[in-house]
Structure 1
Amino acid sequence: MVPHLTTALTGPLLELERQFLDNACDIEKWFRTQWQDHMPPFYGSTDLRNSGFKLAPVDLNLFPGGFNNLNDAFMPLCVQAAQAAIERICPDAGKLLLIPENHTRNQFYLQNVAKLVSILRLTGLDVRIGSLLPEIAEPTVLELTNGATLTLEPLRRRGGRVGLDNFEPCAVLLNNDLSAGVPDVLKGLDEQWLIPPLHAGWHSRRKSRHAAAYDRVARAFAEEIGIDPWRINPEFGVCGQINFQERTGEECLAAQVDSLLTRIRAKYKEYGVTDQPFVVVKADAGTYGMGVMTVKDASEVVGLNRRQRNKMAVVKEGLQVHEVIIQEGVHTFETVEDGVAEPVVYMMDHYVVGGFYRVHTERGRDENLNAPGMHFKPLAFETCCTLPDAAQGPDAPPNRFYAYGVVARLALLAASVEIEETAPVEEEVLAV
């Protein structure tokens, strides 16, 4: 099912898509030169928002957990891209160890792991799953509701390497975002590829650093094809000294919100946009849509009630929030089956391999959709995001999805820059 755009503001976006199509050769050449200078992450996913006048990424996940939501028709793309990534890391690889999240009761997540294992095995790798759970003391088989099974095995540390009983992998692939910190078993692995590198985990990663890297990437790209970078780039600010429970740092937050809203109003006026601008306040580290609130006026972040403070104070793994990013909100005008929708694009190496729509029937077009009650529509992208068709209009599915693929790859490139710039000296050699 192709999404329906309910906005009357398709004109400006169609014009943006037309510029992407008209400059497709230059765009692909630009990306090729960028990937010569920056090693792409092994995989990633990005949430996009399509407002009708702006198309921008609002989040980038380096430990994507929704491979089970991808359209099966794009499995060959996934396998090909995974093969390219493996060849880049260790071309003689025969064994790979996958370390997932500790969600042994989350069937959707486990199905994601099963799909990821299937993709990797089709590249010719011997793939096994090592668990960080202390209760996994021997191989444990999990039965999935879709008929698949997963075998979790206890990790074994041997010097500067980690593996399983009778299994010595060339590389270790994390599908665990390390929100709770780096477990001892993964520290000091100086004889193996660890991908993504440890510093890409949420124990140390910050969304604001990614936003800063994306800002530079978007500006360079926009100059290359002659567009206003704001059309693909959400403005942002940072407040690093806040405690929602103790109500400290509210003045900093309010000032940042007011400054950002002022800049957005100026851009709306420039483009004749009549919608009410908004910003999204997010925990600067973390995922799963936790620690997120939508704000339309600076006064809304002063004197939060107890429920609001509790919602913002803690994210995944019970981590306290003391740093927030204030990001320009991008309305979404896409709907799927009467639910507000946003595309989520998946990538492996530097290739787009598919995606899906995150849909929420109870949220508005200016709200966070990554929340309880959401569901997914496998894309439903009738074509992949890499094959534009100049014979069709800019809003034809392959061309709209090509625009999605371009912006998603910009976010991935920014993640590559971010990983390089934040790498500790001892990790630089093995950073992927």
Structure 2
Amino acid sequence: MVPHLITALTGPINELEQRILESMPAIERWFRLEWMEHTPPFYSSVDIRNAGFKLAPVDTNLFPGGWNNLTEEMLPLAVQAAMAAIEKICPEARNLLIIPENHTRNTFYLNNVVQLQRIFKMAGLNVRVGSISREIKKTTVINLPNGESVTLEPVIRSKRRLGLKDFDPCTILLNNDLSAGAPGILEDLYEQYLLPPLHAGWMVRRKSRHFQSYEEVSKRFGKLLGIDHWLINPMFTHCEGLDFNDGTGMDALSAQVDMLLTKVRRKYKEYGIKEKPFVVVKADHGTYGMGVMTVRDAKDLEVLTRKSRNKMGVIKDGQAVHDVIIQEGVLTQERMNNAVAEPVVYMMDRYVVGGFYRMHPERGVDENLNAPGSSFVPLAFEHSTQLPQLGARPGASAPNRFYMYGVIGRLAMLAASYELEATNPDAEIYD
């Protein structure tokens, strides 16, 4: 089952698909050489938007939840990728500790933890879940609506290691994006692998830095394929020193929005695109679809309601928003079950392992779909994303569409590896 595009099947996106399929050997070799030089994030997920005239990532998550939305058919891919990732980092690994988010009663999220536990258990590890939440003071079993359960145990910090009672892991998997900062309990660990590293958390990470890296990657990839990198890259800028509550910095934000809209209009004119351009203003750090608004005209910012200001001013864990990324809005022209949809690609190590369509029946083609009311339909992996059907008519083959998503997802993952190298506090600096 592949969603239909509401644009004609002979649009630029099919030309892009054709170019990607024709260049498959060169693309795979290019990725192979990149992974010889750069280390992929341990795991990641990428939100992709297909506008019919361009295909681009709009968000990259380095602590992906939602693993429970992958189908049983995808599990072997995930298990093999987990084996490869662990073998590369700690071949003798025996025990793995998962540190989840602190909102312990969200059963949708806990289903994701159970799925991660299953994947790494099948990869040959003893896996337990250790909570750093103050609420978890003793072993707590939470029963889930699907009949499964998850056991959360309070973590124990010795002088230099982190573990549980009678459980000493060599590898600690963070499924907590550290929006509120890195707790001291996770710092200065001795001979334990923390995956992803602390500097992948939102107290360090910035979306603008990620998309700066992605722009660099997309330019090089565009040169490889002989295409305009704009077709796979959302333009962006950013604005600092804002206070949405008292209006500080709003003039600067309006100016940046106006400048980016002008650039987008220029591109639309170049390609004969009749759609009305828009930008998306997002908190430069943080996740869960909070601190996001669509802007079609810089003048709209002058009349923001108090409710809109409040929504933009604070994100997850009560973090105030002072810096934003202003990103070229990418329409989604995909539909699933008559609802607006976007693909989300899941990766572990350097491998695409699956994904799903995020759908929202109450949102428009130019709105954020990562919001209450969204639902998920697994990507139909009749064939691996690595095995496109060469010779099939562009736009007609699900594996070909998924392969294209996988290429864009891996480009964003490569950008994340560049980003993590640049922010690594332990990296050697040469003059």
Q: Same fold (TM over 0.5)?
A: yes
> Superposed, which structure 2 residues align to 1:13-412 within 5 Å?
13-395=13-395, 396-412=397-413
| Amino acid of the structure 2 residue aligned with 1:249 | G
SS at match of 1:326: strand
The number of residues matched between the two structures is 427
Distance in 1, matches of 2:303 and 2:358, equals: 32
The amino acid across from 1:12 in the alignment is: P
Quote how far apart the aligned CAs of 1:7 are.
1.2
CA contact (8 A) 1:103 1:110 kept: no
SS across alignment from 1:32: helix
How many Å apart are 1:181 and its aligned residue? Answer: 1.0
Query: Which residue identity does 2:260 align to in structure 1?
Result: L
| Alpha-carbon contact 1:139-1:152 (below 8 Å) kept | yes
Is the contact between residue 340 and residue 361 of structure 2 (CA under 8 Å) also seen in structure 1?
yes
Q: Which runs of 5+ in 1 are unaligned?
A: none
Superposed displacement of residue 276, structure 1: 0.3
TM-score between both structures, scaled by the size of structure 2: 0.97
How big is the shift at 1:10?
Answer: 4.5
Q: Please identify, of 41-50 and 144-153, the stretch whose mean Cα deviation from structure 2 is larger.
A: 144-153
Secondary structure of 2:309's match?
Answer: helix
Q: What is the CA–CA distance in structure 1 between the aligned matches of 2:408 and 2:339, rounded to whole Å? A: 23
| Equivalent residue letter for 1:397 | A
Aligned partners of 2:89, 2:382: CA distance in 1, in Å? 32
**SS of 2:247's equivalent?**
coil
**Conserved 8 A contact 2:284-2:324:** yes
Contact 2:219–2:229 (CA<8 Å) still a contact in 1?
Answer: yes
2:385, 2:158 → 1: CA distance? Answer: 42
Deviation of 1:394 (Å): 2.1
The answer (yes or no) to whether the contact 2:45–2:60 under 8 Å persists in 1 is: yes
Amino acid at match of 1:111: N
TM-score (normalizing by structure 1): 0.97
Spell out structure 1 runs of 4+ moving beyond 6 A.
none
Distance in 2 (CA, whole Å) between partners of 1:242 and 1:381 is: 44
Deviations 1:50-75 (A, max 9, x none): 00010000000000000000121111
Distance 2:10 2:241 in 1: 40
Residue deviations 1:373-406 (CA, integer Å, cap 9, x gap): 1111111344332211113122111111111000
Aligned partners of 1:2 and 1:382 also within 8 Å: no
The amino acid across from 2:418 in the alignment is V
Amino acid at match of 1:407: I
Q: How far apart, CA to CA, are the structure 2 residues paired with 1:9 and 1:423?
A: 44
Deviations 1:265-304 (A, max 9, x none): 1111111100000000000000000000000111111242
Identity of aligned residues (%): 60
Q: Give me the whole-angstrom Cα distance separating, in 2, the residues matched to 1:173 and 1:419.
A: 17
Task: Give the counterpart letter for 2:79 in structure 1.
Answer: V
CA distance in 2, matches of 1:2, 1:401: 9
TM-align CA RMSD: 1.1
Offset of residue 140 of structure 1: 1.4
CA distance in 1, matches of 2:131, 2:107: 16
Check the 8 A contact 1:331/1:366 in 2, yes or no.
Answer: yes
| Distance in 2 (alpha carbons) for counterparts of 1:160 and 1:257 | 48
